[in-house]
Amino acid sequence: MKKLHQKEKDVGKECHKNVTAKFDELKVNTKHPRADPMDFFSCEGMKNMKKKIYCVNECIGKAQKLLNDDGSLNEENLRSYVLGDSIKQEWMKDLVTHGVNECLKKDFYKTSSPKEETTSANPTDVSVECNPTYLQFLSCLYKEVEIGCPEQYQKNSKKCKAIRKNFTENKKRMLDLLKV
């Protein structure tokens, strides 16, 4: 899985640069500047940061040809990309193949949020919609690999145990993981 991450590093840097430039452009070209995406105490700032993460991952998915034109996952390209020659151990290939199969059954959202209209009450909303499907797929795959990892290969740190426990109990909140 490390090599998979490495494949995306350069593409990810370029995507991040492009998405950041687009968000900065939108911030400047509106009468009401958008909330600072790094302002963790602003709901609008958090929404913008979330959209930015979706946009970067959509860009990576498109650049790697892992998303179809309609925003759905390109199963054939995704399988060869994830299961390519980077995984050497047979147990890991089986685990990741199972994870890919399970995650491809899921119905992911194709837009980051319902369309919000720009109104006088909501003047900072500039319609930036990005497809979170690729990010959702990666999150699903991570969860499947963590849950299905054979015990002899698991890291047994307190944090890893808490993550596996939350995944197996199907807890939705990531904040639960931070209490460790």
Task: Share the mean pLDDT of the chain.
Answer: 77
Residue 117 pLDDT greater than 60, yes or no: no
Percent of the chain whose predicted confidence (pLDDT) is above 70 = 72
pLDDT band at 180 (very low <50, low <70, confident <90, very high): very low
- Domain extent listing, the chain: 2-33+43-137, 150-180
Residue 154 pLDDT greater than 60, yes or no: yes
List all residues 6 or more positions away from 140 whose beta carbon is below 8 Å from its beta carbon. Answer: 99, 102, 103, 106
Residue 94 pLDDT greater than 90, yes or no: yes
Of 162 and 91, the one with more pLDDT: 91
Residue 24: what pLDDT?
80
- Residue 35 sits at the vertex; the CA angle it makes with 34 and 38, to the nearest 5 degrees, is 130
Residue 99: CB atoms within 10 A of its CB come to 23
pLDDT band at 3 (very low <50, low <70, confident <90, very high): low
| CA gap 7, 81 in Å, rounded | 9
Residue 113: what pLDDT?
47
Classify domain 2-33+43-137 at the CATH class level. mainly alpha
